[in-house]
Structures are given as C-alpha cells and as structure tokens.
Amino acid sequence: MSIAASAWEPVVLPKIAWGKGSYVYDSSGKQYLDGSGGPAVFCLGHGHEEVNAAIKSQLDRVAHGYRYTFTSDPLEQLNAIVARRCGGSLTRMVLVTGGSEAVESCLKIALQYHAARGEMTRRRFISRQRSWHGNTLGALSVSGFSERRAPFEGALVEASFLSPVNEYRPPMGVAPEQVAEYCANELEREILRLGAEHVAAFIFEPVVGAAGGAVPAPGDYARRVRAICDRFGVLMIADEVMCGAGRCGTWRALEHDGVEPDIMAVAKGLAAGYFPLGAAIYSERVAKPIIERYGAPLTGHTFTAHTTGCAAGLAVQTIVERERLVEKVAREGVELKSMLREAIGGRDYVGDIRGRGFFIGIELVADRARKEPFDPALQLFVRVRERTFANGLICYPAGGNVDGVRGDQIIVAPPYNASRDELAEIVDKLARSLAEVVPAP
C-alpha cells in the first residue's frame, strides 16, 4: 500500500473556547467531537453542571487545606468512595495531582514497604517494553517508550524491561495462545536472574495505553504474574492511570482479570479533567509495616490531597456510581467495538481492533497478512490525527507501538456518558478520515 511521503510543518493549534458534553468548540466556532476524551481523561465530557457546582461551592468555602494541617470532608468522602469501588484490601491511598505523580508515589511506597521490613536490598523495578508510566524521572525510568526516554538516558534509574504482552504481536517464535505463559515465565526468569532479594516490584499496565494502543493482557497472564510476585515477595503495581477508574468497563481494570494488585495508580478518570487529580492506592498488607515503622508513606507534595481537587473527584465519582456509567461502558463498549469492526475492520490497512470498554485501539498496517507496519517516515499517525481533527473529531493516534520506532495506532476513548448517536458519529468520522488519509488500493 503506497502513501506518498511529504514534509510536515509545525501545526498551529486552535484556541479552545468552550465545551459541553461530548463536544468542544474553538475560538472560531468550529465544533469537535471529543472521541478520545482528550488523552482518555474527560470521562464525563465537558461543562458538567453538577461537577462545576461542586468545585465552585468548595472554592466559596476554602480552596485548599494543607494536608499536614487539616483533613476535610471532600478528602474523607473521596477516600471512602474510591476504597469501596476498589474493593478488597485496597483501602489506603495518597491523593496527588496527576498520573505521573501517582506512579512516582507507587514506586516510593513499594520501596518504603521493603525498607520498613528491613529489606533494603530490594531496590530494583521490573517493567515491560512498550509501556508508559509517566514523565517524572522515576516513572520515566520504568517506561518502555524509547522516543520519550531518549533525551533523559543516563540520568534514569536502572530498571529491567520484559517483552510487551500482546497477542497480536507476540514475541518471536511464540504462538498467540502461548503469550500469557511465555511472558509470565519471562518475569520469573528475570527475578531469578537479579535475585529476588534485589527486586522491589513489577509494574505494568493491565491494558497498555499510549505506548501500545489499548492492548489488554491475554488470558490468565495477570493471575500468573500475581502468583509469581507472591512466590518471590515482589510487589505487584498496576498502572491504571489511563485504563482505570471505569474506562475498561470495570472500576479497576484488573477486576476483569480477577486479580488485585498490591499498589495501584489511577488518575485520568478520577476527576475527569475537571481538576488535576490522581491517587496511589495500596493494600492494608503494604500499609501495615510502613505505618508501624514510619507512621505514614513518605511521599506527597504541597498540593497532595488538594481540597478542591477532592471535591471535583468526589462529584465525578458520585455521578459515575449513581448513573451506573461503568456498567454502561462495559455494555456499550462491546457495541462500539462491533461498530468499528463493521465500518473499518475489513480494510486492508486495519490490522487489529482491540481493547476493553471505552478504551479501544486500532492498529494500522501496510501489509495485513504480514502485519507489516507503515514506514515510520510517513508519520501516518500524525496524518490521521490532523485529518480527523480537520473533520471535527478528536481521537488519540500515536506512533512507535511496534518497536518504539515503527507502528501507527489510534485510541478511541469517548466519555462514559456519550450517547449512542455520538458513538456512531465517532465511528463515521473516523472511517471517513482514514479513507482520506490511506487511499484505496
């Protein structure tokens, strides 16, 4: 399949003016359907009056009570609703200001847990290639995303990286049905190579986001990983910043796999973009030695547990729970994937349509039979981003999902409360835009 290469000029971004529901408008009045919730953030759409009212009401009382001076009703109530939605033993949390900070806090909690137990040799983290955990140096150190790491190499914390866990693109020589077993065994081999006494935690995305394109782990992979971590005293960290808080049709993405991590990061859908908010959530088992030795986790910043942020998160999570939006995502996510497969699944350049709930990835290929990606010089994902945007659709194309350089994929992640007509409009505009970018053979 041939697409002519051309020089690309920097894009001048339009200026956003306002938004309502699933749509946003720029200063010229142009309308955009937000088919990816920005970067999978705006799970209630834009301009939700109840969330706005909660934020305004809190600001009228006090913007923020510093966490070492005060607690607050929004903080305590948000802790309670998040712990209830997590279920099980994930009841402790540090509320922060975003996903990178949440992951950074998860790493620090893991290290502090082992320190509290007198295991100061457990300093090493194990992660996976084609993963993205955030922009702080610690989170970046465990991210297998070469393009975003490159300028900072040499200053990053050393970590181990395993194979991506992707049935569509299994490790060489591994059959798709063997991916779960092979990749779990790879984790065990790396723990043994390093020595379990040196390993603090294994961190992974239950459904890989930006670095892979909504790639869910296959079969019983997560159960196998859970058993391996338990056997060697290694903590399991689930990075659910992008895939969690209901995005995949369960509040915790790992609920789908029947697994509970020791520590979990959430962020994007927690306050739905109405306020910067994230959380590092951890189990009672992890909390016990930390509290006994140190009194509390030694992580957090000035705006940790920001009072207005907690009020925003509480309003969002109250609406999500009251309106049963996670259940809606589980139900209508199946329909959305079916609509996409019907509209574009038969096209030669569509290699895979995958994901869970309202977190769906579409991988584009030059040769469908051989799963050959397009030449990265074409910057196909950039062309798709620009064409969909010109056609009034916001989606989330990204590149390098195959090996860090090659690969083009698109993430569709609409608001949980998007109507069926809006879902159909997303599919229609995406199908039309792809046809305009990739000509028929």
pLDDT over 70, % of the chain: 97
Integer Cα distance of 211 and 382 in angstroms: 15
Q: How confident is the model at residue 229 (pLDDT cuts 50, 70, 90)?
A: very high
Kindly give the pairing relationship between strand 263-266 and strand 235-239: parallel
- CA nearest to 218, candidates 263, 243, 184, 242: 184
Integer Cα distance of 314 and 318 in angstroms: 6
Shared domain for 216 and 232, answered yes or no, is yes
- CA nearest to 238, candidates 215, 263, 272, 259: 263
Integer Cα distance of 344 and 246 in angstroms: 26
Residue 4 confidence (pLDDT): 57
Integer Cα distance of 234 and 228 in angstroms: 8
Domain end, chosen from 322, 352, 385, is at 322
Instruction: Determine, yes or no, domain membership for 369.
Output: yes
Integer Cα distance of 299 and 286 in angstroms: 14
pLDDT for residue 256 is more than 80: yes
Show the tokens assigned to 1.
């399949």
Residue 9 confidence (pLDDT): 58
The one-character DSSP state at 198 is G
Contacts of 239 (CB under 8 A, 6+ apart): 103, 106, 131, 133, 203, 204, 205, 264, 265
Instruction: Determine, yes or no, domain membership for 198.
Output: yes
Q: Are 336 and 358 in contact (CB under 8 A)?
A: yes
Instruction: Determine, yes or no, domain membership for 2.
Output: no
Shared domain for 238 and 107, answered yes or no, is yes
- Residue 236's CB: how many other CB atoms inside 10 A? 23
Residue 6 confidence (pLDDT): 53
pLDDT for residue 439 is more than 80: no
Number of residues that this document lists for the chain: 441
Q: Which residue type occupies 106?
A: C
Read off the CATH number of the domain in which 60 is found: 3.40.640.10
Q: Are 422 and 398 in contact (CB under 8 A)?
A: no
- Which of 5-9, 106-110, 238-242, 309-313 has the least mean pLDDT? 5-9
Mean pLDDT on 298-316: 96
Shared domain for 300 and 411, answered yes or no, is no
Strands in 63-113 per DSSP E: 92-96
Q: Are 396 and 382 in contact (CB under 8 A)?
A: no
Show the tokens assigned to 316.
């969002």
pTM of the predicted model as reported, rounded to 2 decimal places: 0.95
Q: Structural domain tally of the chain? A: 2
Shared domain for 363 and 278, answered yes or no, is no
**If residue 339 lies in a helix (H) or strand (E), which one and from where to where?**
helix 325-344
What values do phi and psi take at 235, rounded to 5? Answer: -75, 145
What is the residue-wise DSSP string for 293-322? Answer: HHSS-S---TTTT-HHHHHHHHHHHHHHHH
Integer Cα distance of 417 and 421 in angstroms: 11
Domain end, chosen from 264, 289, 322, is at 322
Q: Which residues of 252-271 are buried (b: 16+ CB within 10 A; e: fewer)?
A: bbbbbbebbbbbbbbbbbbb
Show the tokens assigned to 53.
């009212």
* Bridge partner list, 356: 359
Shared domain for 27 and 154, answered yes or no, is no
pLDDT in tens, 130-172: 999 999 999 999 999 988 999 999 999 999 999 999 999 999 9
The one-character DSSP state at 7 is -
Integer Cα distance of 343 and 302 in angstroms: 48
- Residue given tokens 């009056």 in the structure block: 49
Shared domain for 89 and 200, answered yes or no, is yes
Q: Which domain holds residue 177?
A: 51-322
Q: Are 388 and 395 in contact (CB under 8 A)?
A: yes
- Residue given tokens 């983290």 in the structure block: 125
Residue 147 confidence (pLDDT): 87
Could you tell me the strand order of the sheet in which 350-356 lies?
350-356, 359-364, 408-412, 396-399
pLDDT in tens, 72-121: 999 999 999 999 999 999 999 999 999 999 999 999 999 999 999 999 99
Residue 98 confidence (pLDDT): 97
Mean pLDDT on 37-47: 97
Instruction: Determine, yes or no, domain membership for 202.
Output: yes
pLDDT for residue 422 is more than 90: yes
* Bridge partner list, 24: 19, 32
pLDDT over 90, % of the chain: 95
Show the tokens assigned to 311.
């009020």
Choice between 391 and 5, residue whose per-residue pLDDT is larger: 391
Instruction: Determine, yes or no, domain membership for 1.
Output: no
Read off the CATH number of the domain in which 430 is found: 3.90.1150.10
Show the tokens assigned to 2.
């041939």
Cα of first residue to Cα of last residue in the chain, in angstroms, is: 7
Domain end, chosen from 322, 350, 367, is at 322
Contacts of 206 (CB under 8 A, 6+ apart): 216, 217, 222, 238, 240, 243, 244, 248, 253, 254, 256, 257
Shared domain for 72 and 83, answered yes or no, is yes
Strands in 45-119 per DSSP E: 92-96
